[in-house]
Amino acid sequence: MTETGKRAPDDNNQKETTYYYSRERRLSQASPTVQGMNDGTRMTLGKAMFGSRGNRFLIISIVVISVFGMAIHQFTRERPPGTTMTLAGNSLSLAIVSVEDVLILGIIKTAPERGEFFIGEVDIAISPVMPRVSAGEDQEEPQVFAHRILFRPVEYETFYISLPFGGEDFIVVLIAGDAQRSMRLRVVETD
């Protein structure tokens, strides 16, 4: 083109450039993934995940870190000091804790991952252990505190029950449906 915007007479005489395209040549230089897609073979999920050394290392690292995380969580879960028992398929951890001169019964229910377990009302009776008396002395009436809680269909539940009396040593009786368990608990002092 000239400065005036008109074509020079020799521009029409130039040959047009021809480009040659070879699909086979292009595919022979492509990556194996592209060649496989052209052949109709598809990459599977396994090959995509484990196809290279870096991918294998990354997946193994993720699995190892996840296993360590679950193990640490399992061992560091907060549980009250006390005793454990199984009641109608549920695992229970019980403790009586003294907090500012108030006694609190703590119950942590853990449902099993598989199998049957109890869901419903659980009756609880708590009584201080009575001291032994001599043959001539009168036995005083034991104090009994009754309470009812409800087990729901969840994996973990925590219950706290304030006791209306004092003492150091208690008998706790739990009744869930046809199952009944009892346990002797001592008070755990907290700081």
pLDDT more than 70, % of the chain: 83
Q: Would you say 189 and 147 are in contact if contact means Cβ atoms under 8 Å apart?
A: no
Average pLDDT over residues 147-170: 85
Phi-psi label, residue 36: left if phi above 0, alpha if psi -120 to 50, beta otherwise: alpha
To which residue do tokens 């419903």 refer? Answer: 120
Determine the pLDDT at residue 131.
72
pLDDT over 50 at 80, yes or no: no
Determine the pLDDT at residue 75.
67
More confident residue, 54 or 141: 54
Banded model confidence at residue 13, pLDDT cuts 50, 70, 90: low
Question: Which CATH code fits 83-131+142-189?
Answer: 2.60.40.1930
Q: Would you say 183 and 172 are in contact if contact means Cβ atoms under 8 Å apart?
A: yes
pTM score, whole prediction: 0.52
